[in-house]
Amino acid sequence: MNSFPTSSPQVVVITGASAGVGRATAHRFARAGWCIGLIARDRDALEAVKREVEELGASAVVAAADVADADAVFAAADLVENTFGRIDVWINDAMVTVFSPVWDMTPAEFRRVTEVTYLGFVHGTMAALRHMRPFNRGKIIQIGSALAYRGIPLQSAYCGSKHAIRGFTDSLRTELIHDRSNISLTMMELPAVNTPQFDWARTHMPRQPRPVAPVVEPEVIARAVFDAVQHPRREYWIGLSTLKVILGNVVLPSFLDRYLAKVAFEAQETKVPVVADRRDNLMDPVHPLHRTRGRFGDEAAEKALVVAGPIARVAPIVLGGVLLFATGVLAAAAAGKVGRTRPSGARLR
């Protein structure tokens, strides 16, 4: 096993770094003095993020790459290591989506969402492992979603990709455990976030897309990701809505099927019609729209509950046990009362 460089500062690589959660995360690590590898398709947007990082006192290197291209991702990882001498943390965040019923989408659209949103994570993870396994250390963060547990209408390709990321990560985790690796894997399951994706995602709906309320700002996620790097856990759930969606789907999946069918169409559309010349970023970047926050700041929260997934899963189990015990006690008390008031000579049938 090679000796891992011990010089500081530490180095983080962020895919999808040109906007939204990725851009906010770059800012958070820059404030902590990390060196940052920035990966996304739009070089000009990445150069702008690099300038922001440098203004915060950190260093960054730009690697313009489409995460659907495995060779480009591997080359980007090599560039970061050659520049800074190491890769301590890799954060997979790049994504695209299409707002549409399944029957209005094309196979090419499904393929593209899957190649970026799922295979992009696979490629990034493989690149990270190439640079971490020789030193038997490192941290990989997968930016997931509550939709990795519960699919919703109008985003079937995205939900399918997020489900796939969770399955892939779980499989890899078992392999690392078998290999007695010190590389950690963390899934971050997100709520709706106020990012530019709703301005540039492809849509086949008549009105402009929007996040399903409640919404948080990208900086909320960035802080949670930074904290997760300091305190790695198997999984983090961000936002009370994420807890409700994941746990609710475990307990009442059929109810959620009908509830989402009723409310989630309108909840993902504004009242503003889609213009005929609307550009989207499914195949190519939309440069003018690159920024950290989207246009829903008037309703986006600056804070959110963050809990480790395993701890959150324990809560309903404990609650269920308490309710079961209480039900048993009440039933026993009722039976005792009936026994005490039964007339002499009466028998149970």
The catalytic site residues sit at 158
| Nearest residue to 121 via CA among 149, 80, 162, 153 | 162
CA–CA separation, 137 and 135 (whole Å):
6
Nearest C-alpha neighbor of 87 from the set 53, 52, 133, 56: 133
d(CA 17, CA 146) in angstroms, rounded, equals 21
Could you give the dihedral angle defined by the CA atoms of residues 318, 323, 327 and 333, in that order, rounded to the nearest 10 degrees? 80
Q: Are strands 300-301 and 215-216 parallel, antiparallel or unpaired?
A: parallel
Q: What angle do CA 222, 228, 232 make, to 5 degrees?
A: 160
Token output for 102: 């399944």
* DSSP alpha helix (H) spans, 41-155: 43-55, 70-84, 107-113, 119-132
Q: What is the DSSP letter of 207?
A: E
